[in-house]
């Protein structure tokens, strides 16, 4: 049977079985759940299925975890995360067309325990969540080539503004809060989080809030916090 037919057959199977096995699909097959223009953005903008699975397992070691996806796009990470772990996922997305696409896909495959909120992340308090996923959500403000569409305003100052907001929210979360970053320079991770695990060739990082040091007011008093000093703390993970 040609691969394309197999994919359609698989998607029909997953729809009939309430999408609970969707996360077993290969990445390019999963993307068939979306309209063509959303599929075309996948390589640069949506987390690959395999990475979604690993990130979700790092974020939600218990099913009673509530995970926030900051800038959820068409809901790929939330859908794979919910079906992989049994935890609850909330995706916040500023683009209405992507939020609508995400809700439609979740409905079509009867995927429970996922809520999609159409909002700018700066309108959302992180206090209801135990864990946060960040796939470099604000990068298109500083790399125009990564622009998804023209629905929202983009500018470099927004990159700083959104990162500061996320950092402030992460600072207020309780000890034990888990954050996973994917392909991120981690500017938004506060000092009070420790880098605990690494996967996917160093691109996926688990951070856990440990209490850490009190906020530094004089930069001269700040200890080292570059990639080199952190690398000593991190272990390489194999989650296959
Ligand atoms: C790189 S994509 C990641 C999508 C998804 N998290 C994933 O991993 O597949 C970043 C998404 O964040 C959204 N986004 C960017 N800035 C945002 C903001 N301030 N508030 C809410 N969503 C935002 C973008 O519209 C885009 O859909």
134-176 pLDDT, tens digit each: 999 999 999 999 999 999 999 999 999 999 999 999 999 999 9
Could you tell me the pLDDT band of residue 11, with boundaries at 50, 70 and 90? confident
Pairing of strands 66-70, 88-93: parallel
Cβ–Cβ under 8 Å, residues 152 and 159: no
**Whether the predicted pLDDT of 14 surpasses 80:** no
Atom 8 in ligand 1: residue holding the nearest Cα: 47
Q: What are the residue ranges spanned by the domains of the chain?
A: 3-236
Distance from CA of residue 149 to its chain's centroid? Answer: 20
19-31 average pLDDT score:
78
Classify residue 152 by its DSSP letter: S
Q: Distance between CA 101 and CA 99 in Å, rounded?
A: 6
Global confidence as pTM: 0.86
Question: 36 Cβ partners below 8 Å, 6+ apart?
Answer: none
User: What does the CA dihedral 199, 93, 91, 185 come to, rounded to 10 degrees?
Assistant: 20
Atom 24 in ligand 1: residue holding the nearest Cα: 71
Q: What angle in degrees, to the nearest 10, is found between the helix axes of 49-59 and 76-85?
A: 60
Could you tell me the pLDDT band of residue 6, with boundaries at 50, 70 and 90? low
Could you tell me the pLDDT band of residue 196, with boundaries at 50, 70 and 90? very high
Alpha helices in the chain (DSSP H): 3-16, 27-30, 36-39, 42-45, 49-59, 76-85, 96-108, 156-172, 227-231
Q: How far is the CA of 139 from the centre of ligand 1 (A)?
A: 9
61-78 average pLDDT score:
97
The topology (CATH level 3) of 3-236 is Rossmann fold (3.40.50)
Is the pLDDT higher at 79 or at 4?
Answer: 79
Q: How far is the CA of 121 from the centre of ligand 1 (A)?
A: 9
120 Cα nearest atom in ligand 1? 20
pLDDT tens for 175-195 read 999 999 999 989 999 999 999
| Closest among 13, 17, 48 to 31, alpha carbons compared | 48
Ligand 1 pocket at CB < 6 A: 45-47, 69, 71-73, 76-77, 92-95, 98, 120-121, 135-138, 148, 162
Q: How far is the CA of 233 from the centre of ligand 1 (A)?
A: 29
Atom 27 in ligand 1: residue holding the nearest Cα: 73
Cβ–Cβ under 8 Å, residues 52 and 80: yes
């Amino acid at each position: 049977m040609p691969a394309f037919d197999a994919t359609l057959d698989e998607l029909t199977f997953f729809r009939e079985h309430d999408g609970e096995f969707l996360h077993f699909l290969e990445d390019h097959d999963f993307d068939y759940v979306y309209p063509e223009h959303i599929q075309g953005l996948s390589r640069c903008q949506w987390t690959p299925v395999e990475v979604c699975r690993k990130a979700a397992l790092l974020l939600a070691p218990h099913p009673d975890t509530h995970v926030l996806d900051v800038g959820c796009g068409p809901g790929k990470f939330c859908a794979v995360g919910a079906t992989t772990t049994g935890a609850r996922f909330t995706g916040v997305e500023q683009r209405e067309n992507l939020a609508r696409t995400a809700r439609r896909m979740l409905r079509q495959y009867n995927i429970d325990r996922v809520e999609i909120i159409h909002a700018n992340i700066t309108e959302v308090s992180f206090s209801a969540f135990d864990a946060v996923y960040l796939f470099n959500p604000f990068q298109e403000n500083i790399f125009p080539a990564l622009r998804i569409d023209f629905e929202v305003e983009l500018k470099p100052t927004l990159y700083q503004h959104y990162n500061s907001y996320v950092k402030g929210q992460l600072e207020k979360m309780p000890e034990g809060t888990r954050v996973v970053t994917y392909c991120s320079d981690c500017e938004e991770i506060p000092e009070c989080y420790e880098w605990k695990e690494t996967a996917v060739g160093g691109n996926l990082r688990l951070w856990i809030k440990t209490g850490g040091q009190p906020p530094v007011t004089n930069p001269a008093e700040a200890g080292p916090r570059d990639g080199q000093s952190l690398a000593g703390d991190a272990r390489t993970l194999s989650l296959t």
